[in-house]
Amino acid sequence: MSANDNAQATAAVPETSVEAWSGKDKADENFPVGSLLIRRELREHVHAYYAFARNADDIADSATLSPADKIARLNIMEEVLTGASAEGAPSAARLRASLAQSGVTSIHARELLVAFRQDAVQNRYADWAALMDYCRYSAAPVGRYVLDLHGEDKATWPASDALCASLQVLNHLQDCAGDLRSLDRCYIPQDMLAKAGCKTDDLARGETTPALRAVFDQMLNLTEALNEAAAALPGLVRARRLRVETAIITRLARRLTARLRHGDPLASRVKLSKVDFITAATLSLGRFA
């Protein structure tokens, strides 16, 4: 895949705006988005990027739009982002202006659209490699954008990619039941389910079976390896405030991994607590500030 994999779509879209905000915002995320640790003059750019990603994600996750409609809307978002169209996607226009001011390339936003177009037409993943390829476009661009915005070296990208992939997989595990019920979408690798004697529909149960627990644990084992690779990130980041933020996020990823080890995502949403955030911030400030 590449950021130029624009599927053809002929579905009609609204003339005013293709975007339809779901109501979710930064407060609904597991991890800090444009927090106070980000330098004041950069926060508006992070918020512009987040708004673009949020609106594109809402299109891809719509339960009422057809796949063709979703792709047509996402294509318009990219056209506005790149300046090929002047209007039709306010968050894309805002991000275009932000990128022009900050000097950051549009590739990190355009690559997100690759994943969202994929979400419009694909609802199953064959194996871990396929899931990691999806994360390369759905998650890695976020970390790369923030690092580029701060002028960090590309040597930070591998550790950042690992962290972003970890966060994405953890989110998939948190939401696995809801994704299946609302969108018939399953990010749990099909080969892992089959080897354990499970079916995708088992995710719709009210509680996790022992066999499905083994699948979740296998995914968490692989996620722990991502967390280990991500642990190097804070030490590679030059900007002090961003270094602290990445340290906090890597700690939170490890904590959420542990919570999912002992929690049942089919029975209720396993999530971080205020204590988790406070502990991660305190430890990270003490070591990396």
Q: What is the pLDDT of residues 168-220, one digit of tens each?
A: 999 999 999 999 999 999 999 999 999 999 999 999 988 999 999 999 999 99
Compute the Cα dihedral for 70, 177, 34, 112 and give only its sign: negative
Rounded Cα gap, residues 242 and 39, in angstroms = 8
Q: What is the mean pLDDT of residues 100-105?
A: 97
pLDDT at 14 over 90: no
Q: What is the pLDDT of residues 68-93, one digit of tens each?
A: 999 999 999 999 999 999 889 999 99
Q: Give domain 123-289's CATH superfamily.
A: Farnesyl Diphosphate Synthase (1.10.600.10)
* Three-state DSSP state, 205: coil
Q: Where are the domains of the chain?
A: 36-121, 123-289
Q: What is the mean pLDDT of residues 215-239?
A: 97
Q: What is the mean pLDDT of residues 99-120?
A: 98
Rounded Cα gap, residues 228 and 217, in angstroms = 16
Plot region of 35 (φ>0 → left; ψ -120 to 50 → alpha; else → beta):
beta
pLDDT at 34 over 80: no
Rounded Cα gap, residues 213 and 191, in angstroms = 15
For residue 286, what are its two tokens?
């003490």
Q: What is the pLDDT of residues 123-166, one digit of tens each?
A: 999 999 999 999 999 999 999 999 999 999 999 999 999 999 99
- Percent of the residues in the chain that have a pLDDT greater than 90, as a whole number: 79
Pair 46, 34: CB distance under 8 Å: yes
